Amino acid sequence: MRVSLFIEKYFWLFLIAGIVLGLWDPIPFKIFPAFLPKVLLGTMLFFVFLKIDSLQILENIRNYKLMIYITFVYMIVIPVFFFFSINIFSPDVAIAILLLTAMPAGVSTPALTDIVKGNVSLSMSLTIVSQIVAPFTVPLLFWLIDFSGHSINKLLMLKDMAFIVFLPMIIAQVIKKYFPLSIKKTQHLYTSLNVLLLLSFVYLAISSQRNYILENPKGLVWKIAVLYMVFIILHVIGYFMCFKQNKENRIAVAIGAAYMNNGMAIVLAASYFKPEVLVLMVLSEVPWNTLLAPFKRFISRLN
């Protein structure tokens, strides 16, 4: 088995390794620049855009009413629903869950959709569209909802998200135009490279919050339980929100809803929110990496 295929197949091992390394032998937070997580995330998006012809996908989206409906539910309805549901019990956790659920579909959702036998082309379209609208919808949510005791620079958040999303997309389109053969020859390496980048990303994120995590192990148990509950509900909402669609389409929508770009959430949490919010974003890696297999078994029993 080629190294790249091994990395792709066992990507979860590398993510767990990033968590373990961050807790066992963390990098001193002061020795790497604060913008490094943003650079890592932007680089991951760059490799994704190299593999996906985002402009062509957008042009080929014919059922625009369905795309608008799904994107609106993804980016507005679901985050608001979870925020007001959880805010009754814990305002700080509600803010963290709002940030997490407001994120666009993760860049790996087409691959995850393929694993679960869903509509990959629909998943790719949802991923691109949600990535493009996220720089506008996320700051809008935090502007519309009043947070007492929390000061968030929405314009700076908009600038950061636009930089992280649009710059890699533009650069990728230019490179594909002028070096198509080189891109074609190296495409098989991009996913494995992204796994290694994600390992580095998780390692840095865990390192930055290691002391907080180890000092409050009991307090984290219920937070992980809340995250599992949120992710399970996201699977259910995603699968049944387009009940008139065929099974493959509903799988794609469910994967997009549940497997958001939590890497972007970690970057934003590190830049604009309290450590408690950042810890929850990092802990979201646990349900993110463990619920796909149960979901696959569940939908295999449905007609």
* pLDDT for residue 151: 58
For 3-300, the fitting CATH number among 1.20.1530.20, 3.20.20.100, 3.40.1710.10, 3.90.550.10 is 1.20.1530.20
For residue 11, what are the contacts with CB-CB under 8 A and spacing of at least 6? 195, 198
Q: pTM for the complete prediction?
A: 0.80
198 C-beta neighbours (distance < 10 Å), count: 21
* pLDDT for residue 269: 86
Query: What is the full per-residue pLDDT of the chain (303 aa) written as tens digits?
Result: 578 888 877 776 887 788 888 888 887 766 556 677 788 878 887 887 787 765 556 655 677 888 899 999 999 999 999 999 999 988 889 999 999 999 999 877 877 887 788 887 788 889 888 988 988 999 889 888 866 555 566 677 777 778 887 888 889 889 988 998 999 889 888 878 887 887 888 788 778 778 877 877 777 788 889 999 999 999 999 999 998 889 999 999 999 999 998 888 888 887 788 878 888 888 888 888 778 878 988 888 876
State the DSSP string of 4-25.
HHHHHHTHHHHHHHHHHHHHHS
The answer to whether residues 251 and 116 touch, using CB atoms and an 8 Å cutoff, is yes
The answer to whether residues 77 and 148 touch, using CB atoms and an 8 Å cutoff, is no
* pLDDT for residue 166: 82
* pLDDT for residue 56: 54
7 C-beta neighbours (distance < 10 Å), count: 20
Torsion of CA 252, 254, 256, 257, to 10 degrees: 160
